[in-house]
Amino acid sequence: MITYLYWFLIFGLVIALLYGVGYKLTQWKGALIASAIIFLIGTVAYYFHFQQIFVKRFGGVMTIKVPEGQFHITATWKDDNLWIENYDPKTNTCHFREYSRGNLLEGQVIINNCNPLQRQAELPPQPAAQTTAQ
């Protein structure tokens, strides 16, 4: 919902600028340039700053694709950045990747010999609960 409100505000500014400067003052060239700049700044600000903040703090929606051949393990937030852990069975590694604003400056941690499915199978069986009768 907050995302729709943000884009409504950006498009409202663009339309108000086109109407006020372009139509009322008949300065179409300036109105088109200013509208394009407002739209560009709004788009860049959304993808590089506001997208994850809206999702984390205000309940927005974001879609991330798991790389082909990997299995998703977990996801967690660190500040305003989302960290995603996937398991690659071909290389037996876990990839812990940061999904940062605008996909810039993303961190990555690779854990070798990481097989989360095998570890569950290797756990010793739990002893059955015993009751004593007196």
Q: What is the pLDDT of residue 119?
A: 53
DSSP string for the chain = -HHHHHHHHHHHHHHHHIIIIIIIS--HHHHHHHHHHHHHHHHHHIIIIIHHHHHHHH------PPPTT-EEEEEEEETTEEEEEEEETTTTEEEEEEE-GGG-S--EEEETT--HHHHHHHSPPPPPP-----
pLDDT higher than threshold 90 for residue 11: yes
pLDDT higher than threshold 70 for residue 98: yes
For the chain, domain boundaries: 2-58, 71-122
- Per-residue pLDDT tens digits for 118-130: 655 454 555 655 5
pTM greater than 0.95 (yes/no): no
Tell me the pLDDT of the chain averaged across its residues. Answer: 83
Mean pLDDT of 48-61: 83
pLDDT higher than threshold 90 for residue 52: no
